[in-house]
Amino acid sequence: MADFKGIAEALIEGNAGKVKDLVQGAADEGEGPQKILDEGLIAGMEVVGVRFKNCEIYVPEVLVSARAMHAGMDILEPLLAASGAKARGVFIVGTVKGDLHDIGKNLVAMMLTGTGWKVVDLGVDVDAEKFVQTALDVDADVIGLSALLTTTMVNMKSVIELAKNKDCKAKIVVGGAPLTQSYADEIGADGYAPDAATASEIISSMG
């Protein structure tokens, strides 16, 4: 019998090798990739998200679990594509122009991948044109903007303005240590989250 609980536990422990073996085992037994994703990987990642939010674990542990998640996803992705499973939506994420911080952005991307979104990660130092053009090209549902510097968070506003000018329908969610809900409101963002778990909740409600 497929060991979904074992997959979740191995992911929480950050044991990528074990996650890979158990996911492969479940797939070989004929379990559907969506079920393995939902009951194994996502179930585990939800626990990681809650523990991170409650400060029971910290960034290094989350990154190790993220690596384990990727090890499982490497096996499931081609199976999911072949089975025609539909992503919950398309989420574009990147760190704004002039800013090279990417740890928080990567956590948000990983959490969204873990909850079934198709994630397009544009990396760091991304200008407004690239965010908006990519959103239009891939018909994104949500754009996530990250900034860690008070000098770069102002660049979020240009993305929001350009999206409006180009009639881009994607919702825009912002985050990063210097951000606040009131700043997000001031620049006209559709959402703000202080951490990756809340980001996942807010963005999932937009899909």
Select 26 or 199, whichever has its Cβ closest to ligand B12: 199
Closest distance of CB 39 from ligand B12, Å: 25
Calpha distance 110→112 (Å, rounded): 5
Angle, helices 4-13/43-53, rounded to nearest 10 degrees: 40
Interface residues toward ligand B12, by CB under 6 A: 59, 98-105, 107-108, 144-146, 148-151, 173-178, 193, 195-196, 199
User: What is the pairing mode between strands 90-95 and 171-175?
Assistant: unpaired
Select 23 or 179, whichever has its Cβ closest to ligand B12: 179
Select 14 or 144, whichever has its Cβ closest to ligand B12: 144
- Decide if 37 contacts 75 (C-beta within 8 A): no
Calpha distance 77→74 (Å, rounded): 6
Closest distance of CB 36 from ligand B12, Å: 26
CA-angle at 78, arms to 85 and 108, nearest 5°: 75
Query: Which neighbouring-strand residues pair with 30?
Result: none
Select 72 or 176, whichever has its Cβ closest to ligand B12: 176
Backbone phi and psi for residue 38, each to the nearest 5 degrees, phi listed first: -70, -50
Closest distance of CB 92 from ligand B12, Å: 10
Closest distance of CB 64 from ligand B12, Å: 14
